[in-house]
Structure 1
Amino acid sequence: MSQVEQARPPRWRTRRPVPPALGLCVAVVYPVASLVFRLRYRHADRIPPTGGVLLVANHVSVLDPLACARLVWDSGRVPHFLAKDTVFAGLAGTILRAAGQIPVSRGSSAASSSVHAAKAALDAGDVVVIYPEGSVTRDPDWWPMQARSGVARLALTTDALVLPVAQWGPQRVHDYHTKRLHLRLRAPVDHLVGEPIDLSEQRARVRAGAPLSGELLREVTDLLMTRVRDQLGELRGERPPAQFHPRPAGRALPGDLPGNAA
């Protein structure tokens, strides 16, 4: 065991307190993810035991949150996901909100509330998981498509550690492109947690009064997603494409973050 691993406090301690709603979510998600996925982590110890962390991940399946939630939980932290507000209806929505999950509203006066809530969570020292593509990638080979820039707003306006995460495998169970569910047990799923992304220069520019212009947001968004894309190439043992797959034109996609400058 490395010195870094020895220095980490017990996971049960870094996850406290666990409210009842979160405990219920864990009781459901943990065994389901264990049955459906055979999870394999690379460098999960890069997720620190304390402090605000923004996990930036690629999106290959609607089942991604199940697998990524296990990654964060198994690392001794509690995940807070941004999810479509339609998921927060009824009793399930009440439980998700009480568990600290963050609804994403679109097309309303509350459209920016999700970004503010995510920022507040990061400032409070929580782990926030975001899929900047806003929806499962439309790339036929599952490489990332062009991302929305809400992730850059969060990265530039907080002091949170920003970690790129590549994930590969959930699409084997649910193929979003064909809308088919391939029921199987213990499908292999890999996560690669990258080194923290240094945004000190860009953050200094913002603190000095530079506006959050579309150019700056696009620069940071592409920087983050390039790291994620390159790590995905490492996981897959393939060379990633040089460009991001374009987003479908003329319409929003499910899960798009509001208030973004594309």
Structure 2
Amino acid sequence: MSRRRIGFWYRFAAVLCKPPLVILIKRDWRGMENIPADGGFITAVNHNSHVDPFAYAHFQYNSGRVPRFLAKSGLFKKGFVGAAMRGTGQIPVYRETTDALSAFRAAIDAVERGECVAFYPEGTITRDPDQWPMTAKTGAARVALQTKCPVIPVAQWGANELLPPYAKKPHLLPRKTHHVLAGPPVDLSRFYDKEMTPDLLKDATEVIMAAITRQLEEIRGEKAPETPYDPKRERIEQRRRTAAAVEHQRPGQHNGALREQEPQEEGQGK
């Protein structure tokens, strides 16, 4: 999609959003040459701030290939925001409904029309304590394997310093730098023309996330943990620790109750 086809709503959103982004954030953008000049493709991006969709969209808008984000369906229903989401061609995600798969069908249709679909494979802001990419959902891999389109891994860092994960107040000073590194397409060819089992989709997703993580290591100048943070595993571990703590406390509580009863029993015997 050329700049001539970006459309009114995307240009209008850029007029509104670019000036504050330019004022608030410096830019260190690399790898824009890896964004395909034509044809449908996917970008797979790490997510560490409520601000980073705007900062990343700025990067990709400047590449001339505007992204179609997958976003919560509720955003499409309200006033100006809803009109802007619909007008810019974003893709609604209907969670836990019979329409939940419609987002993937819409993403496939967009790629086949020659557009870019931007995925946050983690599905939400990372919960890793050090803000490394965590385990991801398989939607991006599913669309990529079905369409065989290029998957461009993108790492970003800096918007999270402006507005840390799940924070309510931004840190405006000193002025932050938004780092973006877009890499060459991820090679998923070994997964093509095979049954898309859960295991195959999981493996393809791990390849995509590993590419994003390597690029974030380059931006940050440090190594990521060998095993990505897994929210499901952490919840299981937390429940196990809670159950163990409760079980450990029970004997003490029981003994304490007996000790509290002993003086009363002695008094009753006198």
TM-score between the two structures when normalised by the length of structure 1: 0.84
- Give the match's secondary structure for 1:151: helix
Structure of greater Rg: 2
Is 1:157 the counterpart of 2:146 in the alignment? yes
1:175-186 to 2 correspondence within 5 Å?
Answer: 175-184=164-173, 186=175
Secondary structure of the residue aligned to 1:226 is helix
CA distance in 2 between partners of 1:188 and 1:238 (Å): 18
- Aligned counterpart for 2:66 among listed residues 78, 95, 99: 78
What root-mean-square deviation, in Å, do the aligned CA atoms of Structure 1 and Structure 2 show?
Answer: 1.6
Tell me the equivalent position of 1:109: 98
More helix by share: 2
Partner Cα separation in structure 1 for residue 3 and residue 68 of structure 2: 12
SS in 2 for 1:128: strand
How far the C-alpha of 1:177 sits from its partner, in A, is 4.3
Question: Aligned residue for 1:233?
Answer: 217
Aligned to 1:130: 119
1:175-205: CA deviations, max 9, x gaps?
Answer: 1244442234741010111111111221232
Aligned-residue offset at 1:66: 0.8
SS in 1 for 2:37: coil
Structure 1: distance between partners of 2:41 and 2:23: 28
* Structure 1 residues 31-180: aligned runs within 5 Å: 31-91=19-79, 92-180=81-169
CA distance in 1, matches of 2:90, 2:173: 28
Match of 1:202 in 2: 191
Hey, what's the Cα distance between the residues in 2 that align with 1:184 and 1:111? 41
Alignment partner, residue 15 of structure 1: 3
1:219 shift after superposition? 0.3
Identical-residue share of aligned pairs (%): 37
3-state DSSP of counterpart to 1:16: helix
Residue 257 of structure 1 aligns with which residue?
Answer: none
Which runs of no fewer than 5 residues in structure 2 stay unpaired? 237-270
Q: Which residue of the other structure, out of 224, 228, 234, is the alignment partner of 2:208?
A: 224
RCO higher in structure (CA 8 A, sep ≥6) = 1
What's the TM-score once normalised by structure 2's chain length? Answer: 0.82
